[in-house]
Amino acid sequence: MKRYANAALLYAALAMVGGVFYREFTKWNDFWTQTTLGVVHTHYFILGMMFFLLLLVLEKQLSFTGAKTGRVLAFYHIGLNLTVLMLVVRGIVQVLGIALTAAADAAISGFAGIGHILLGISLVVLLVQIKRSIAEDKDE
C-alpha cells in the first residue's frame, strides 16, 4: 500500500510541475491558443494521483495485489509517462511553431499511441485482478 501512496504523491507533484510549466512556457512564448501542454496536468492528476489513491483504497479493502501486479503497474507507469512525454513534446512543438516532417509528426503520434495502449492494457489487467479478488472473497 505504501507503493500506491508514494506513486500518488509523485504523480501529484508531477501534475503540479506540468501545470506550472504549461502556464509559464506559454506565457513566456506569448502563446494563447490551445496546446496539448494544457492536458499534462490533468493526465497526471487523474491517471496518476487519483488512480493510485483508488488502488490504495481498493488494496486496503480487497487485498487484490498478486504476484503479477508489480509487472502490470510497471507497464502502467511506462504507459502514463510515455503518453505525458509525448504530450509535452507535441505541446512544445505547437508553442514554438516548429514545422515537423510527416515522419516526425507520425513518430510523436505513434509513441503517444503506444503509451495509451500500455495504459489501457494495464488498466484492464488490473481490473481483472480486482474482479478475481472480489470473486475469491465471495467464495470464502
46 located within any domain? yes
Where in the sequence is the domain holding 14, given as residue range(s)?
A: 2-126
| Percent residues over pLDDT 90 in the chain | 88
Q: Per-residue pLDDT tens for 102-118?
A: 999 999 999 999 999 99
132 located within any domain? no
Candidate from 18-32, 55-69, 70-84, 92-106 with smallest mean pLDDT: 55-69
Our count of domains for the chain comes to: 1
Question: Can you give the pLDDT at residue 28?
Answer: 97
pLDDT at 137 over 90: no
Q: Per-residue pLDDT tens for 54-64?
A: 999 999 998 88
75 located within any domain? yes
24 located within any domain? yes
| Percent residues over pLDDT 70 in the chain | 98
136 located within any domain? no
Which own/partner contact pairs does 14-17 have at CB distance under 8 Å and 24+ positions apart?
14/44, 14/48, 14/84, 15/40, 15/41, 15/42, 15/43, 15/44, 15/45, 15/48, 15/49, 16/41
